[in-house]
């Protein structure tokens, strides 16, 4: 990790938004003493909730076994995540309640009641079993935002198969690597999906990936696009509807151990290779369930909409497991916010009377730029709570969201968490917490969040590193196939503490302010990208000798990717080559990693030991005065680079 001084100037925020009385009166959680009570004995706090909130086949023998940094929760306990999301609801009047209200980008709609979802999940679970999937097997899912994505996840959970979802925007190569790392034997995908009115051919990408995935035995293909002709490999590829036809609608849920793996989800780390974050059944389900209930305050009659894609952790925890285990009605939308026009989201809120909306700051800033006319065209009065996730929300965007979307009546839950944490970690409790625009407020009850200095001492007021002391139920258990990486990455920087990779500050009132990543991970539009991954993609290109990728501040995306590239001898840095290199990165990783800027340079600024000084490159890209350059091998390089960069920006 590059040492980075963490300064924090904007602790001067004085605006305070206490919970509106009408909201507080009806909130699921009203007891301000909850923090104190939970802190007295966190394990007992979680155990009580596990007993009250989830259905177990067998109660655990022991709540927690903590052999740092490896934790086990609810040892000996048996349950099934799918049972908790479906079976327990279909045994009640909720069987006729909408579980998923779905709208496709072209405007087609589907509603699945809990009974519908239960039937489809049972059928797919039976079908997967018939195809030879057994408990513990990995199933890769590469699907768009269609109900089949939820059906596939829950079918896996039902039979104890481990799902590994790959975001639909990832490239064929990224898909291939993730399938192979997880040794998945089934892939579930679709022929395509709609995006901004066009068809994206997912199956083509999958076919490309599958050329180098020898372990995949069967591919199940959802027919989303009616008119597209796609190739189906005989013996390997099966249409979803064929698989479902005749499959038994009665496939009992497997009794899973609380510590059995529920899913793997790949995320970017500080090295070139994505890591498979492992979540297990009991603790993960408990964490997502309780946070959904308390942070989103979900009630029986709510219509809840989380705009995240199923391919990210937010989609896992807060489109599927949290809300469905609560028996909530979830809105799911396939497409983009600006199709056919920039008011599509607000149209959906009005049409379905959405009550709780959870989205990302980058989306809010995009809407801000489009202007208030779009939300003003719609009646958004059904909304009662707003959520934010993925990156720091700047006070200006917070205020805009509060005013123009929430009508100055809805509390905003700015939730800080990660793929690894499984559930919200720093978040307001909307019936209790007085909000400050831009602050994610406090650690969730029962989780010991802290801000520490360079050597791990707690900082009462000021900036430092965000850590979590001790285990929490929904924490990742390991990195798939690489426990050492788990230890090194999260538990070695500060002994005995989980290091989040984020900087944070605590103000005089104890509020936490997230300051972004302090490692080589950047956050573009709320998506984590490893600078190392981008660099290794670039040096694979025949023209590139060396590359240094950095995140630079961006008004809408939060951060944008800028890359400094040195070319091989005799190769000229033309505008065409810039385009080619951008396309190359997109093909290697996915469109989300396409750099905004590529800048050619004869040399990169390096320390005498040969380490690229990314900090200085950030200064250049953001047009700041250069920081300390005394450790540079050749200070001349940087001065010239700065001048040329500024020139290019101007021109």
Interacting residues toward ligand PRX by CB under 6 A: 267, 313-314, 388-392, 414-419, 440, 500-502, 514, 516-517, 523, 528
Q: How far is the CB of 597 from ligand PRX (least distance, A)?
A: 22
d(CA 585, CA 118): 41
Q: How far is the CB of 530 from ligand PRX (least distance, A)?
A: 11
d(CA 373, CA 202): 35
Question: Toward ligand PRX, which CB reaches closer, 392 or 406?
Answer: 392
d(CA 418, CA 514): 13
Q: In the numeric block, which tokens belong to residue 282?
A: 């009991």
Q: How far is the CB of 421 from ligand PRX (least distance, A)?
A: 8
Question: Toward ligand PRX, which CB reaches closer, 415 or 601?
Answer: 415
Question: Toward ligand PRX, which CB reaches closer, 123 or 316?
Answer: 316
Q: How far is the CB of 28 from ligand PRX (least distance, A)?
A: 21
Question: Toward ligand PRX, which CB reaches closer, 176 or 528?
Answer: 528
Q: How far is the CB of 527 from ligand PRX (least distance, A)?
A: 6
Tokens 């290019």: give the residue.
648
Question: Toward ligand PRX, which CB reaches closer, 186 or 286?
Answer: 286
Q: How far is the CB of 415 from ligand PRX (least distance, A)?
A: 5
Cα distances (angstroms) measured from residue 486 to each of 136, 173, 203, 309: 21, 24, 33, 26
Question: Toward ligand PRX, which CB reaches closer, 207 or 309?
Answer: 309
Q: How far is the CB of 145 from ligand PRX (least distance, A)?
A: 16
Q: Give the contacts of 22 (CB within 8 A, at least 6 positions apart).
A: none
d(CA 633, CA 619): 18
Question: Toward ligand PRX, which CB reaches closer, 210 or 550?
Answer: 550
Q: How far is the CB of 87 from ligand PRX (least distance, A)?
A: 28
Beta bridge partners of 443: 426
Closest CA to 156 of 176, 177, 139: 139
Q: How far is the CB of 58 from ligand PRX (least distance, A)?
A: 32
DSSP character string of 514-550: EEEESSSEEEETTEEEEHHHHHHHHHTSTTEEEEEEE
User: With b meaning 16 or more CB within 10 Å and e meaning fewer, what string describes 447-459?
Assistant: bbbbbbeeebeeb
DSSP character string of 467-486: EEES--TTS--EETT-HHHH
Other C-beta atoms closer than 10 Å to the C-beta of 423 total 30
DSSP character string of 348-398: HHHHHT--EEEE-HHHHHHHHHH-THHHHTS--TT--EEEEESSPPPHHHH
CA 364 to chain centroid, in Å, comes to: 17
Q: How far is the CB of 502 from ligand PRX (least distance, A)?
A: 5
Question: Toward ligand PRX, which CB reaches closer, 347 or 448?
Answer: 448
Q: How far is the CB of 558 from ligand PRX (least distance, A)?
A: 9
Question: Toward ligand PRX, which CB reaches closer, 372 or 492?
Answer: 492
Q: How far is the CB of 517 from ligand PRX (least distance, A)?
A: 5
Give the dihedral of Cα atoms 515, 517, 519, 525; nearest 10 deg.
-150
Question: Toward ligand PRX, which CB reaches closer, 478 or 523?
Answer: 523
Between vectors from CA 359 to CA 353 and to CA 365, what angle results, nearest 5°? Answer: 110
Question: Toward ligand PRX, which CB reaches closer, 80 or 268?
Answer: 268
What are the start-end ranges of the H helices in 86-191? 88-90, 114-130, 147-159, 172-182
d(CA 115, CA 92): 10
d(CA 111, CA 118): 13
Cα distances (angstroms) measured from residue 151 to each of 118, 188, 190, 267: 9, 11, 13, 23
Question: Toward ligand PRX, which CB reaches closer, 101 or 278?
Answer: 278
Question: Exposed, middle or buried by CB within 10 Å (0-12, 13-18, 19+), for 227?
Answer: exposed
Question: Toward ligand PRX, which CB reaches closer, 126 or 267?
Answer: 267
Q: How far is the CB of 340 from ligand PRX (least distance, A)?
A: 28
End-to-end, the C-alpha distance of the chain in Å comes to 34
Contact 550, 531 (CB under 8 A): yes
Closest CA to 445 of 19, 42, 73: 42
Question: Toward ligand PRX, which CB reaches closer, 10 or 96?
Answer: 10
Give the dihedral of Cα atoms 583, 584, 586, 588; nearest 10 deg.
160
Q: How far is the CB of 514 from ligand PRX (least distance, A)?
A: 4
Element housing 134 (H / E): none
Q: In the numeric block, which tokens belong to residue 153?
A: 């996840």
């Amino acid at each position: 990790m590059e040492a980075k001084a963490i300064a924090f100037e904007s602790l001067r925020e004085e605006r305070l938004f206490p919970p509106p009385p009408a909201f507080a009166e009806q909130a699921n959680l009203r007891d301000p003493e909850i923090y104190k009570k939970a802190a007295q004995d966190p394990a007992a706090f979680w155990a009580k909730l596990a007993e009250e909130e989830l259905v177990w086949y067998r109660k655990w023998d022991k709540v927690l076994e903590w052999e740092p940094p490896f934790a086990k929760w609810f040892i000996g306990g048996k349950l099934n995540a799918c049972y908790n999301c479906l079976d327990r609801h279909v045994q009640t009047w909720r069987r006729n309640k909408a579980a998923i209200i779905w709208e496709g980008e072209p405007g087609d709609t589907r509603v699945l009641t809990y009974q519908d979802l239960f039937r489809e999940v049972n059928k797919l679970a039976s079908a997967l079993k018939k195809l030879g999937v057994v408990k513990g097997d990995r199933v890769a899912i590469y699907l768009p935002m269609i109900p089949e994505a939820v059906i596939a996840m829950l079918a896996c959970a039902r039979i104890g198969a481990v799902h590994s979802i790959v975001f639909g925007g990832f490239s064929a190569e990224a898909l291939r690597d993730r399938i192979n790392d997880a040794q998945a034997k089934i892939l579930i995908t679709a022929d395509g999906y709609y995006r901004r009115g066009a068809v994206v051919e997912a199956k083509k990408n999958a076919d490309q990936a599958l050329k180098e995935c020898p372990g995949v035995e069967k591919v199940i293909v959802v027919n989303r696009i009616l008119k597209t002709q796609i190739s189906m490999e005989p013996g390997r590829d099966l249409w979803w509807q064929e698989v479902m036809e005749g499959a038994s609608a009665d496939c009992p849920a497997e009794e899973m151990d609380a510590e059995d793996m529920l899913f793997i989800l790949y995320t970017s780390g500080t090295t070139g290779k994505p890591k498979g974050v492992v979540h297990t059944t009991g603790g993960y389900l408990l964490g997502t369930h309780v946070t959904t209930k308390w942070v989103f305050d979900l009630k029986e009659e709510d219509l809840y909409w989380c705009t995240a894609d199923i391919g990210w952790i937010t989609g896992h925890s807060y489109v599927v497991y949290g809300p469905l285990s609560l028996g909530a009605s979830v809105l799911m939308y396939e497409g983009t916010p600006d199709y056919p026009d920039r008011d599509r989201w607000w149209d959906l809120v009005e049409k379905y009377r959405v009550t709780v909306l959870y989205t990302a700051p980058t989306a809010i800033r995009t809407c801000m730029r489009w202007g208030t006319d779009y939300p003003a065209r719609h009646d958004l009065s059904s909304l009662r709570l707003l959520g934010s996730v993925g990156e720091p929300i700047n006070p200006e965007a917070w205020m805009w969201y509060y005013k123009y979307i929430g009508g100055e009546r809805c509390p905003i839950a700015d939730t800080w968490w990660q793929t690894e944490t499984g559930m919200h970690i720093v978040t307001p409790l909307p019936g209790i917490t007085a909000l400050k625009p831009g602050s994610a407020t406090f650690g969730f009850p029962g989780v010991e969040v802290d801000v520490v200095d360079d050597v791990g001492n707690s900082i009462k007021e000021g900036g430092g590193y965000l850590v979590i002391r001790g285990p929490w139920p929904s924490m990742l258990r390991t990195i798939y196939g690489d426990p050492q990486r788990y230890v090194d990455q999260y538990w070695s920087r500060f002994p005995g503490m989980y290091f989040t990779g984020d900087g944070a500050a605590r103000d005089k009132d104890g509020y936490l302010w997230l300051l972004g990543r302090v490692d080589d991970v950047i956050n573009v539009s709320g998506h984590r990208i490893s600078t190392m991954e981008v660099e290794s993609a670039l040096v694979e290109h025949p023209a590139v000798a060396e590359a240094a990728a950095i995140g630079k501040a961006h008004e809408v995306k939060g951060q944008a990717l800028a890359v400094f590239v040195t070319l091989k001898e005799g190769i000229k840095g033309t505008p065409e080559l810039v385009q080619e290199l951008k396309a190359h990165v997109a093909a290697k990783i996915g469109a989300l990693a396409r750099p905004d800027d590529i800048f050619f340079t004869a040399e990169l600024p390096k320390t005498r030991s040969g380490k690229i000084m990314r900090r200085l490159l950030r200064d250049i890209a953001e047009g700041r005065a250069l920081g300390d350059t005394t450790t540079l091998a050749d200070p001349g390089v940087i001065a010239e680079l700065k001048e040329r960069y500024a020139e290019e920006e101007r021109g």
